[in-house]
A and B are shown apart, each in its own frame.
Chain A
Amino acid sequence: MGRYVVRRLIQAIPVVLGATLLIHAVVFALPGSPAVARAGADGLPPGAAALLREHYRLGEPFLVQYGHYLAGLFRGDLGVTFAGVPVADLMAGRFQVTVNLVVTALVVEAVAGVGLGLYGALRYGGAQDALVLGVTLVLISVPALVTGFVLQLLLGVRLRQAGVGLFPVAGIAEGWRGYLLPGFVLAASSIAYLARLTRAGLLEALRAGYIRTAVAKGLSRRRVVGLHALRNMLIPLITYLGADLGTLMGGTVITETIFNLPGVGRQLADSIHLREQPVIVGTVTFLVLVYILANLVVDLLYAVLDPRIRHE
């Protein structure tokens, strides 16, 4: 087990290298100069552009820049923003917001997705099942940009005008309630996928031989479905939730921008506008690390959930 974890972490190194190299290349290929982008409409004083270029090594070849970055990464240094703030410090302040948002989304996703899926499967072929399929189709089809703004208008503005102030229109000034709408918007399409996965999983599990055995043992339907079927379905569900953590992290870029949440995702969006190369690369590297760790945790959970899998 311990050896397995170490091996997986070693395997993560080339993934991190590849991801950082790729994102460096993309940022390098962006047209325009970061120094000029920062100055805005007025332009830079003469000489300033050259100074900035030299200080941030913007003139050097791509691979040299990347080498400097990697050297810093090994020392635990994610680089410094153009304003002189270490990227690591910048992230620390924003990380909590993103964690709150993603955890909210995961909980919403797990509860709504599994709930909808089980409901549909247990009424397989009926009107309620068709309704579940219809709802998930809508959730998959409508992009977060649309659901975000529509819900902001309906729940954040209209509902608030009607006297129910549960959902703030944006920001985190009202604490946890500020995460409810963005959490749902972030999770929306994932809810649909999870619901369909759950529905198909339960339908398949109910056809399995061990379910027939469980019925033949004289167990109640509640025990047959809730214990014997559900316990076997957990494996694909946990896999999906783990992999989806990465999707949710990526989705924060849009959701945090729509709802004006000061998290890592909005930081990434802002830094792309400003061509803040160290921030872009640092943020993406960080997201890649979170994704790798989440997948490792999921793989370790397999061994707990499925006794046929052993990590040796």
Chain B
Amino acid sequence: MWKTPAPASPAGRPPGGGPLLAVENLHVEFVTRRGVVRAVNGVDCALNAGETLAVLGESGSGKTVTAQAIMGILDTPPARVTRGTIRLRGTDLLGLREEDRSRIRGSRIAMIFQDALSALNPVFTVGAQIGEMFRVHRGLSRRDAERRAVELMDRVRIPDARRRVHDYPHRFSGGMRQRVMIAMAIALDPEVLIADEPTTALDVTVQAQIMELLSELRRESGMGLILITHDLGVVADAADRVAVMYGGRIVENAPVHDIYRAPAHPYTKGLLESIPRAGGKGRALRAVEGSSPDPMAMPSGCVFHPRCSYRQDDCAAGEPPLHPIGPFRGSACHYWREVLHGSHG
């Protein structure tokens, strides 16, 4: 299996070597009544401090399950991690006892969810929910925790924080609720922040504000940000690197500029061609033909081959490894050269 591509230069790596977070060969399955669903099949990715990694994929591609596995919040059962390692600064999280894992959860790795209204507890004030981080992890008193909650609400620019700290989640707008979630997630200065479609439930203008806030917090604190999304626009604006997921695998992994300039996997290429462009009026948008694979019956070989326009006979036979095709760049396609150089399609 392909590992994190060897860097051409040590730039972007923390001193002491090794990335901040490294996921290797991660496999997650769900045991259901109908059979075993392999949701994540050998995901490799790495995140450096201060970097934004966008995980791009459609529903069911395994991006959220990967995030939940990193966070350690999979429902087990039915889910189980069958193989792989998740290392935070070298420590394998999967080998830890639950007690030690929950100490890391929230304090060193934090997560923001898609729908802040259902992700916040309706019967506690936002101040109590933010302050709970300090009370549980740091043993602060109720009064001190509330003071810290006000500071955090100021930091994520919730107006009139001193008064609003006593309000309940339903009294906030969607954007403000997501700010509350963010305040809660960054409370203990985590090293890794996972944002699972943080703007999907929001208005377009609010989306931009939330993304701006996340980028700013990342720059200030130097944390690594994993941004899970299916929004290519968000990726272009916010990400340093992109990992494209399909059928539980990473099919392409590249710096954001490379991937937009010249995709090296047919699926990525299809996604980019489906974006509406200014000046493209009157021209039909291209869609990726077919639909995502049935997780109970994944295609043999390359999971994308039934939908692929570059398909050759050997695609159904062998599962392509993530070929290193450049510095920090990989593509899980046997014919990445043809895709990259556009000699077809």
A residues touching B (Cβ–Cβ < 8 Å)?
A: 208-210, 212-220, 223, 228, 231-232, 305-308
Contact status of A219 and B121, CB under 8 A, knowing A212-B73, A307-B170, A308-B168: no
In the bound assembly, the distance between CA atoms of A214 and B181 in angstroms comes to: 11
Contact status of A209 and B118, CB under 8 A, knowing A216-B73, A219-B132: yes
In the complex, the chain B residue whose C-beta lies closest to that of A209 is B118
Contacts of B122 in A (CB 8 A): 210, 232, 306-308
B104 near A218: Cβ-Cβ < 8 Å: yes
A232 near B123: Cβ-Cβ < 8 Å: yes
A228 near B102: Cβ-Cβ < 8 Å: no
In the bound assembly, the distance between CA atoms of A216 and B168 in angstroms comes to: 20
In the bound assembly, the distance between CA atoms of A45 and B184 in angstroms comes to: 86
B123 near A218: Cβ-Cβ < 8 Å: no
Segment of B52-60, B107-115, B264-272, B287-295 in the binding face: B107-115
A213 near B103: Cβ-Cβ < 8 Å: no
Contacts of B13 in A (CB 8 A): none
B133 near A217: Cβ-Cβ < 8 Å: yes
In the bound assembly, the distance between CA atoms of A224 and B244 in angstroms comes to: 34
Contact status of A214 and B121, CB under 8 A, knowing A219-B102, A308-B170: yes
Instruction: Return B200 CB to nearest CB of chain A, in Å.
Output: 14
Indicate if B124 sits at the interface (CB-CB under 8 A): yes
Contact status of A217 and B113, CB under 8 A, knowing A210-B119, A308-B122: no
A217 near B124: Cβ-Cβ < 8 Å: no
In the bound assembly, the distance between CA atoms of A258 and B312 in angstroms comes to: 84
A-B contact pairs, 11 of them (CB 8 A): A208-B118, A209-B115, A209-B118, A212-B119, A213-B119, A213-B121, A217-B132, A218-B137, A219-B136, A220-B102, A307-B123
Within 8 A of A (CB), among B34-81: 71, 73
Over the window 93-113 of chain B, the binary record of Cβ atoms lying under 8 Å from chain A Cβ atoms (1 yes, 0 no) is 000000000111111001101
A215 near B170: Cβ-Cβ < 8 Å: no
Indicate if B22 sits at the interface (CB-CB under 8 A): no
* B-side interface size class: 20 to 34
B residues touching A (Cβ–Cβ < 8 Å)?
A: 71, 73, 102-107, 110-111, 113, 115, 118-125, 132-133, 136-137, 168, 170, 181, 184
Main secondary structure of the interface of A (DSSP, over half): helix
Contacts of A209 in B (CB 8 A): 113, 115, 118-119
Instruction: Return A102 CB to nearest CB of chain B, in Å.
Output: 29
Contacts of A216 in B (CB 8 A): 71, 73, 105-106, 110-111, 113
In the bound assembly, the distance between CA atoms of A215 and B132 in angstroms comes to: 12
In the complex, the chain A residue whose C-beta lies closest to that of B71 is A216
Instruction: Return B132 CB to nearest CB of chain A, in Å.
Output: 7
B113 near A218: Cβ-Cβ < 8 Å: no
In the bound assembly, the distance between CA atoms of A135 and B128 in angstroms comes to: 39
Minimum-distance CB pairs A-B, first 10: A218-B106, A209-B118, A218-B105, A210-B121, A307-B168, A217-B106, A209-B119, A213-B119, A216-B111, A218-B102
Instruction: Return A289 CB to nearest CB of chain B, in Å.
Output: 32
Known: A218-B104, A232-B122. 11 other contacts (CB 8 A): A209-B115, A215-B73, A216-B105, A216-B113, A218-B102, A218-B106, A219-B102, A231-B124, A232-B121, A307-B123, A307-B168
In the bound assembly, the distance between CA atoms of A223 and B124 in angstroms comes to: 14
Contacts of B133 in A (CB 8 A): 217
Instruction: Return A100 CB to nearest CB of chain B, in Å.
Output: 33
Interchain CB contact (< 8 A) of A217 among B118, B125, B136, B170: B136
Contacts of A215 in B (CB 8 A): 73, 105
**Central interface residue in A223, A228, A231, A307, by most chain B CB within 10 Å:** A307
Interchain CB contact (< 8 A) of A228 among B73, B110, B115, B121: B121
Contacts of B136 in A (CB 8 A): 217-220, 223
In the bound assembly, the distance between CA atoms of A180 and B115 in angstroms comes to: 49
Contacts of A218 in B (CB 8 A): 102-107, 136-137
B123 near A305: Cβ-Cβ < 8 Å: yes
In the complex, the chain A residue whose C-beta lies closest to that of B124 is A231
Contacts of B132 in A (CB 8 A): 217, 219
In the complex, the chain B residue whose C-beta lies closest to that of A234 is B123
Instruction: Return A238 CB to nearest CB of chain B, in Å.
Output: 13
Contacts of A223 in B (CB 8 A): 136
Instruction: Return A276 CB to nearest CB of chain B, in Å.
Output: 49
B121 near A217: Cβ-Cβ < 8 Å: no
In the complex, the chain B residue whose C-beta lies closest to that of A217 is B106
Contacts of A217 in B (CB 8 A): 105-106, 132-133, 136, 184
In the complex, the chain A residue whose C-beta lies closest to that of B111 is A216
In the bound assembly, the distance between CA atoms of A216 and B115 in angstroms comes to: 15
In the complex, the chain B residue whose C-beta lies closest to that of A305 is B123
Contacts of A308 in B (CB 8 A): 122, 168, 170
A231 near B111: Cβ-Cβ < 8 Å: no
